Structure 1
Amino acid sequence: MKINPTYKSLLSKSINSMLSAIEIYNKPNFLYREETFAILAVNAIELLFKAHLLKLHNYNIKELYFMESVKTKKGEVHKRKKTPKLNRSGNPMTIGIFDVINKLNSKCKVPPNFINNIEVLVELRDNSIHFYNDSFCQKEIQEIGFATIKNYIRIIKEWNIVDIDLSKYNLYLMPLAYIDSKTYSSGIITDETENYIEFLKSKIENTDNEDQEYDIAVSIDIKFNKSNSIGQIGVFYDPNGVPVNLKEEEISAKYPLTYREICKKSRIRYIDFKQDRKFNAIMADIKKDKSLSYVRLLYPNKPDKNKTYFYSTNVWKELDKHYKRKK
């Protein structure tokens, strides 16, 4: 099947722009990394959205143009006829990222948390292009960057954009650089940086809790412990691996959901949800999966009495297989 050349070009440029953003950010000594990442990442998202909008409108290129009313011979504005507005070089002007989002929302809703993530990123990009950033909150920007890549990958899968083969790229690779936030808390932060942090906080405070799949920022917490064991530097889940003991607060962070909260949110999340035998059977299987659930015993010496289960947010991926999500 022949692919529309404009659509194909937009997707290709989008993925290459995101790869460039990650590659530049990962350079060990690049003084303009945050600003460059923001510029390229926003570009990647905008091109992806434009490609999808183009496809939804049967590849009608005018959907991407900034249209203006045609003037009649008398110099009056025509009521119906419109033509693409031209830029300084005489080429048609295309609409911006937020105009694209508004158009997409009439066809397929863009997740609100992703939009907030984009707004924070665009604010950084605009400051970089049109003026400059005097001092910077590197840790916060890195958290935004993690969320941006996660959201970008998620929307490609959700929209079923098969023309981008994610298996070819390691978009998850964004090494976590050690950034000492004390440098900024003890130094002089400009009013502009404080304003940006407040803007970021306002977006995070307005997080849509029902939108579990997308993030505005992904929290980064680095802890260094003195130890002679290299094995304690990092861990990953392996059913056959060595057991790892977690602190109470770490368990709460990894398994934040209760059974009651899952039932309550499921009624909002799914069209066909019922708290019946089917649901109980699914939850019984989830309880057996140590990566999805954690059991807390009131009396450790009596494991069959007074125990409570807590669940990971990954439980939604399992439930999504059995119930139909609301649009």
Structure 2
Amino acid sequence: MSAITESLVEHSKSAIIGCVELHNKPVFKFRYEVCTILAINGWELILKAYIAEHNPEVKLIRKDGTSKSFEECVAFVTGKIGNEFRAVEENLNKLYEFRCHIIHFYKDNIGTILYSLLHKSIIFYNEFLQKHFNIDLAEETNLMLLPIGFKPFVTPVDFLTKQSDLKESSNAVQTFIKSIIGSTEKLVQEGIEESILTGYNIAVVNENRIKNADIIAGITKNETESKLSVSNVLSAIKVTNDDSAKKVSIEEETLFKTVYTQPYLTIVKQAREIFSDFKQGAKFNRIMREIKNNPALHRKRFLDVVNKTGVGKDYYNPEVLNELAKHYKIKEK
């Protein structure tokens, strides 16, 4: 990198690291106002570094002493990179809109939306830095966002339901939310699936009957009318004979991609690598017969999946190795 590019990159990194550090402080007034300003500053500098490095003919400093504006930098880089940068562009435009109109949002609580925009922007930033400057901030700093606090982490449901603060929010906030939806719609029309907001994966606990469920929460349950919809998402699957367990329907193909992924020979090979006293003999065969009777650990895949006929092949849950560990000694490293 040239001296000017290197200087821009280092100052940009400092702004972004400062943004993350301040966001994670337990007590910090005007958290999102300050963090957004730092994020925009960091992005403006890295975009100028990109322009200086890849398009040195472009003048970043005008004759009157002013520099290329943030909006001009975003538009220029989008023009060079194209659709790959479009989601980043929309994300930055929303943050910049908030930064320029902060005073209009002071009386409203929109931390959830700002967190979603800012968190995604930081992820976009590190990806941009890696791709165009071969720098990984995650490795350099070991910084990560830790949602640890003195009250439950706020969810989109808390914010978007009719009982939330959004119902009584100002016209400025309503316009801001609509502009985010508008940006999302534009990306969809362009065939771009990347979101400008951080997604949520939430564990919900029912106090009467403790069960975990991952949900994507939204405004309404009508998927055809809503921008976001409520649906169940299974991030982990456990097969069980428990009649009280929640019943779900899973396609056969999906089962063998997510649950029963290991063929018999793979289990044998892994067992040889993990256990010091492993032998593929009578003891192992007896254990595997017991495992075959456990639907959580074994399933046979038939050629005719409907009638369960034809030549079948045994597949096992990777958890089989934990079961084998009860009977064999793990090799010392």
Q: 1:194 aligns with which of 162, 170, 174?
A: 174
Instruction: Give the AA of the match of 2:92.
Output: I
TM-score (norm 2): 0.56
- What is the rounded CA distance, in whole Å, between the counterparts of 1:211 and 1:288 in structure 2? 30
Q: What corresponds to 2:109 in structure 1?
A: 136
Higher relative contact order (CA 8 A, sep 6+): 1
Q: 2:45 aligns with which of 5, 29, 47?
A: 47
1:1-327 equivalence runs, <5 A: 3-58=1-56, 63-66=59-62, 84-85=63-64, 92-109=65-82, 111-128=85-102, 133-159=106-132, 161-162=133-134, 166-175=138-147, 178-179=153-154, 180-181=158-159, 184-185=164-165, 188-208=168-188, 210-212=191-193, 214-225=194-205, 249-251=232-234, 290=258, 303-304=301-302, 305-306=304-305
Q: For residue 38 of structure 2, what is the amino acid of its counterpart?
A: L
Do the aligned partners of residues 210 and 122 (structure 1) sit closer, same or farther apart at CA in structure 2, a change above 3 Å counting?
Answer: same
State the 1:102 CA deviation.
Answer: 2.8
Instruction: Classify the secondary structure of the residue corresponding to 1:108.
Output: helix
Alpha-carbon distance in 1 for matches of 2:22, 2:123: 18
Alignment CA distance shift 1:11-1:174 (3 Å): farther
Question: What is the aligned residue count?
Answer: 224
What's the CA shift for 1:166?
4.3
Cα drift, residue 22 of structure 1: 1.2
Q: Which has the larger radius of gyration?
A: 2
SS in 2 for 1:207: helix
Deviation at 1:142, TM superposition (A): 1.3
Q: How far apart are residue 64 of structure 1 and its match? A: 0.9
Report how far residue 50 of structure 1 moved.
Answer: 0.4
Q: Alignment partner of 1:64: what SS?
A: coil
Q: 1:131 to 1:13 in 2, by over 3 A?
A: farther
1:1-59, Cα deviation, whole Å (9 max, x unpaired)? xx42221111111111111111111122223111112111111111111001001124x
> Which digits, 9 at most, give the CA deviation of each residue in 1:225-279, with x for residues without a partner?
158xx9x799xxxxxxxxxxxxx8314x89xxxxxxxxxxxxxxxxxxxxxxxxx
Identity %: 17
Q: Which amino acid aligns with 2:26?
A: P
Specify the code of the residue in structure 1 equivalent to 2:59: E
Alpha-carbon distance, 1:176 to partner: 6.5
Contact kept, 8 Å, 1:127 with 1:133, in 2: the verdict is no
> How much has 1:98 moved relative to structure 2?
2.0
Gaps of 5+ in 2: 215-230, 237-253, 262-297, 307-333
Q: 2 CA distance for matches of 1:287 and 1:220? A: 25
Matched residue, 2:318:
none
Aligned letter for 2:126?
I
3-state SS, counterpart of residue 249 of structure 1: strand
SS in 1 for 2:203: coil
**Residues 198 and 106 of structure 1: CA distance in aligned 2, closer, same or farther (over 3 Å):** closer
2: CA distance, partners of 1:135 / 1:225: 29
Counterpart for residue 271 of structure 1: none
- Describe the superposition over 1:87-117 as per-residue Cα deviations: whole angstroms up to 9, x where unpaired: xxxxx10111221133334443361111110
- Alignment check: 8 A CA contact 1:25 1:37 kept: yes
What CA distance in whole angstroms lies between the structure 1 residues aligned with 2:59 and 2:8?
14
Which runs of at least 4 in structure 1 moved beyond 6 Å after TM superposition?
A: 286-289
Q: Is the 8 A contact 1:151 1:215 kept in 2?
A: no
Matched residues in 2 for 1:174 and 1:93: separation? 38
* TM-score of the two chains, using structure 1 as the length reference: 0.57
How many angstroms apart in 2 are the aligned matches of 1:143 and 1:233?
A: 21
Residue 188 of structure 1 deviates from its aligned partner by 2.9
Separation in structure 2 between the aligned mates of residue 187 and residue 215 of structure 1, nearest angstrom: 24
